[in-house]
Amino acid sequence: MFTNIPSATLKQLVKLSERKEKLMAQIQDLDREMVRLQSKYGVPNLHPGRRAPVTISRAPRTKRRRRL
């Protein structure tokens, strides 16, 4: 598939992917807090019959040691 990608680029992609996962988790936390506050103060949903979609993030990958 992708065989000619330099290792520096792969490292950058991994770093960006991990950063994206963290940001997505923060967004989910903010969404949950917003829903909690809206329900606490009686703010109606834009889509009353529809609940917010639930997404599940993977656990962060552990870093592997490179063999020399």
Reply yes or no on whether the pLDDT at 60 is more than 70: no
Q: What is the pLDDT of residue 59?
A: 67
Task: Judge if pTM exceeds 0.85.
Answer: no
Find the farthest-apart pair of alpha carbons in the chain and give their distance in angstroms, rounded: 61
Query: Using 50, 70 and 90 to split pLDDT, how confident is the model at 49?
Result: low
Average pLDDT over residues 3-13: 91
| Number of DSSP helices (H) and strands (E) in the chain, helices first | 1, 0
* CA separation for the pair 31, 25 (Å, rounded): 10
Q: Compute CA 22 distance to the chain's CA centroid, rounded to the nearest angstrom.
A: 5
> Has residue 17 got a pLDDT over 80?
yes
